[in-house]
Amino acid sequence: MWDNVRRACDIYPEKRISCLRKNGQEIRNTSEMVEVLAEAFASNCSASIYTEPFLTHKNRTERIKLRFQTIKHLSYNTDLTIFELHTALSVIKHTSPGPDEVTYSMLQHLSEHFLLNILYMFNRIWKEHVFPDCWKYAFIIPIPKPGKDQQDPLNYRIIVLTSCMCKLFERIVNVRLVHILEKNEYISPFQNGFWKSRSIIDNLMSLEIDIRFAFLKRNHLVSIFFDIYKAYDRTWRYGIMKNLYDLGFRKNLPIFVQNFLNQIFLSPLGNTYSNIFCQEEGVPQGCVSSVTLFVLAINPIL
């Protein structure tokens, strides 16, 4: 409630970036700062950050082209329905728009006639395997990490703002993808984070049980805890698509995911924008399907 009051009264403190540091030099010019932020994000998502052994594996594996075409009729590839569109519109949160400036509020106030036109467009994109150029562009919004040096451009968490039209489409597709993953039990039972009806508390309970058994049997128990540094930014995209391919996904759904991942971005700061950069690897943070795609990426190692 108090968050809503603060928003209504516009009393949130403005977090403006006033200075960044690059190669030991302070940068205060806005046009230079947006370039520094965009370059920092692009470097985090670049394949160059991978280790040499993994790069060798990556280059060798990616020589195999994934062919998602099929003549089989698959239930998750059927036309999108007006019911799915209405459902997606009913659960959306009013987040900021992407570069096209189309908001969720605009979409929710459209008449049924216009919604049917949007559905027609969505189904053409779905079946013809095209992806609107305007959907490929995204804004990256830097959020300072608490307790970190805010002059270091690497100490910012990035939120990606894509087109609300794209996110609406993405939400419908993500519901279908999650349904198939759950129905066929494709996700490892040990994957408890980011998944419906599961929680990391399940992992803690399992660990506690193992510890108690070890005490009872007077055995040793070894546990390994590790934090994946910039996990979303550095997720191997081909690995996601390979996992979808190995699970038997074909045609419309995986092709949409493949097109969606090929995004380019620019960084806004006030009314100043950076040059356009390409997100080479990783899943876009803040997008509807990012969690599902990340779960798919780590699923084979669990």
Residues 71-81 have a mean pLDDT of 95
Which of 2-6, 38-42, 224-228 reaches the highest mean pLDDT?
Answer: 38-42
Q: What is the pLDDT of residue 67?
A: 94
pLDDT of residue 276: 87
Whether 258 has a pLDDT exceeding 70, the answer reads yes
In this prediction, residue 6 carries a pLDDT of 52
pLDDT digits (tens, 9 = 90+) for 235-244: 999 999 999 9
- Residue extents of the structural domains in the chain: 28-301
Average pLDDT over residues 190-202: 83
Residue 268's pLDDT band, with cuts at 50, 70 and 90, is confident
Q: Which residue has the higher pLDDT, 300 or 87?
A: 87
The C-alpha atoms of residue 156 and residue 21 are separated, in whole angstroms, by: 13
Q: Over range 74-89, report the average pLDDT.
A: 96
Mean pLDDT of 105-131: 95
How does pLDDT run across 19-43, given as a tens digit for each residue?
A: 898 888 888 888 888 899 888 888 8
124 or 161, greater pLDDT = 124
Residue 2 has pLDDT above 80, yes or no: no
Bigger pLDDT: 4 or 87?
A: 87
**For residue 18, how many C-alpha atoms fall within 13 Å in the half-sphere facing its CB?**
2
- In a 13 Å sphere around the CA of 171, the CA atoms on its Cβ side amount to 21
Mean pLDDT value across residues 263-284: 85
DSSP letters for 125-173: HHHHT---GGGGEEEEEEEEPTTS-TTSGGGEEEEEE--HHHHHHHHHH
Residue closest to 295 by CA, chosen among 223, 189, 204: 189
* Residue 10 pLDDT level (bands cut at 50, 70, 90): very low
| Per-residue model confidence (pLDDT) at position 143 | 87
Report for 190-199, 253-262, 278-287: range of highest mean pLDDT: 253-262
Query: Which helix (H) or strand (E) segment is 6 a member of?
Result: helix 2-9
Task: Answer yes or no: are the C-beta atoms of 120 and 78 closer than 8 Å.
Answer: no
Contact 280, 47 (CB under 8 A): yes
